[in-house]
Amino acid sequence: MIKKLLPLAISLISLSITAQDALTSSLYETYEKYKEPSLGKRRIKHTDLKPLIDQLRSNPKFKVQKVGESIEGRDLNLISIGSGSENIFLWSQMHGDEPTATQAIFDIFHFLDSPDFKEEKAVILSKLKLHFLPMLNPDGAEAFKRRNALGVDINRDALRLQSPEGQTLKRLRDSLDASFGFNLHDQSRYYNAERTDKPATISYLATAYNYEKDINDVRAKAMKVIVFMDKIIQNYAPGQVGRYSDDFEPRAFGDNIAKWGTSLILIESGGYPEDREKQEIRKLNYVSILSALYTIATKSYESIPTEDYEKIPKNDRMLFDLKITNATYELMGKDYILDLGIIQDEADKKGHNDFYYRSSISDQGDLSTYYAYETFDATGYKIVPPKVATMETVPNPSKVLSQGIAFVKGTLPKEGFSVKMPLHRVGEGFELKGFNLQPGVNPTFFLEKEGKLTHAVINGFLIDLNKPLEDQETGNGLIYR
């Protein structure tokens, strides 16, 4: 009898996997139909979510409950949908400057409210009851910073529970007693999948519940679903999945929620080429979360071996924005060969609605074990210090750069710290002191080959002087006051 049933079981599993692949593909292809258009930038605030939550409050498919307030008095809302007996709890933006999954959650709401995918949604919503708490840290989101108004990292407040946001999260975890929890975060864009040049676009973790990192049934379930989600992401960002460190942190919510009996899945949204606003990564969150909910509802994840979890590459942090290799650098009359690793740092503008770049050299020397979103082999090129020129207007930035000028003296704008063009603006009293490349220094210089300037590096952005500026990503210049 067992021999007769085994082929049938295998066939059913194969059918389930095939159906899941078809669903995932359809979710990816139709995504734009459900994307919430008002959340197109990362620096979203509580006021951006309020009208969207009000719409859900008037929709009978959803139940919206105010479940708490932040320190500064902003509402925390739990949004629920589904009639199943198994509770699933998803929360986002525990850190105020990590909004990618918050955006994806509102895309998911549109999907759940639509008349499409009836069969798949019927399975999810009849088996599961979904509970979402988007933007757990609205005060941090207001200033686009990690911590809350108390200066506390909410994700390190699971034991002391001094933050009202943390108290709300703990109370909901206990009342829902969810079988699965999705802890949704962003990580630095400089993480890569271990020993590869691929950014860790998405990283997963089945959090440990003790120092020994033991695997019980609760943690094993999270591992299996993560293996399933990894398979999905490989279709759209191959090689760009990492496994977050599972070192036990006794103060962290994820670790404790796993300890309290919920299969905890941490999702970290990292970097993706040419996606500063993380809109492609938002899409990947949408696809992988919905697919995970479907596999939880159908129980198809149960046949996945937990051993496959360890096959996911670890997170590493070996990425730069720009890596210039083998450049000739003259110091005290002697030539040296240097690699430069450059980070295009973001600095918030007033109001925390936008940012400008204020780049820095992160490291220099032999960087052969590092990777970058953009790499330029400067073999045969010489690093040339920038020049300063006086001019009130800059009619042609490209012509100015071709002369080796990177700093322009003149009347400075009354406000702000950056200008749109790839030139630095300085006051009349500015003096360019000795040129010396060091970690921490703003990378502004030129590259020369065979006696001709070929490239400019202005505020950490590589500019080809033989190409029109409008065809290149040139970043911005800085204002030195």
SS (H, E, C) 405-462: EEEEECCCCCCCCEECCCCEEECCCCCCCCCCCCCCCCCCEEEEECCEEEEEEECCEE
Q: Quick one: how far is CA 431 from the chain centroid?
A: 39
For 436, counting Cβ atoms within 10 Å of its Cβ (0-12 exposed, 13-18 middle, 19+ buried), the class is exposed
CA dist 147 and 144 (Å) reads: 9
- Identify the domain containing residue 432 by its residue range: 319-480
**421, 325: one domain:** yes
169 and 222 in a single domain? The answer is: yes
**Per the domain annotation, does 193 fall within a domain?**
yes
Residues 337 and 310 in one domain: no
* Whether 267 and 390 share a structural domain: no
pLDDT at 7: 45
Q: Residue 270, CB half-sphere, CA atoms under 13 Å: how many?
A: 29
Domain boundary among 262, 287, 316: 316
Residue 3 lies in a domain: no
Tell me if residue 281 falls in helix, strand or coil: helix
Dihedral angle at the C-alpha atoms of 215, 270, 107, 156, nearest 10 degrees?
60
Residue 15: its pLDDT value, please?
Answer: 45
Look at residue 327 and tell me if it is in a domain: yes
Residues 362 and 307 both lie in one domain: no
Report the CATH number at residue 385: 2.30.40.10
| Residue where a domain terminates, one of 263, 285, 316 | 316
Q: Which residue has the tokens 């200066």?
A: 151
| CB-CB contact of 272 with 280 (8 Å) | yes
> What integer pLDDT is reported at residue 18 of this predicted model?
58
Tell me whether residue 12 is in a domain. Answer: no
210 and 94 in a common domain? yes
Beta pairing, strands 452-458 & 192-193: unpaired
Residue 180: strand pairing partners = 88, 263
Spatial CA neighbour of 386 closest among 458, 335, 323: 458
**End-to-end Cα distance, the chain:** 83
- Considering the domain architecture, whether residues 301 and 343 belong to the same structural domain is answered as no
pLDDT averaged over 10-residue windows placed end to end, the chain, 481 residues: 43 50 91 97 97 98 98 98 98 98 98 97 98 98 98 98 98 98 98 97 98 98 98 96 97 98 98 96 98 97 97 97 98 97 97 97 98 98 97 91 97 93 94 93 98 98 97 97 89
In a domain, 9, yes or no: no
> Of 316, 340, 358, which one is at a domain's C-terminal end?
316
CATH number for the domain spanning 303: value is 3.40.630.10
Q: In whole angstroms, what separates CA 453 from the centre of its chain? A: 36
- CA-closest candidate to residue 284, choices 230, 323, 326: 230
Q: How far apart are CA 145 and CA 96, in angstroms?
A: 5
Any domain includes 83: yes
Query: Does some domain include residue 11?
Result: no
- pLDDT value of position 392: 86
Residue 455 lies in a domain: yes
Alpha-carbon distance 108 to 113, whole Å?
9
Is 267 in the same domain as 205?
A: yes
Same domain, 343 and 272: no
- Do 356 and 430 belong together in one domain? yes
Number of domains in the chain: 2
Tell me: do 63 and 211 sit in the same domain: yes
Q: Say yes or no: 153 and 172 in one domain.
A: yes
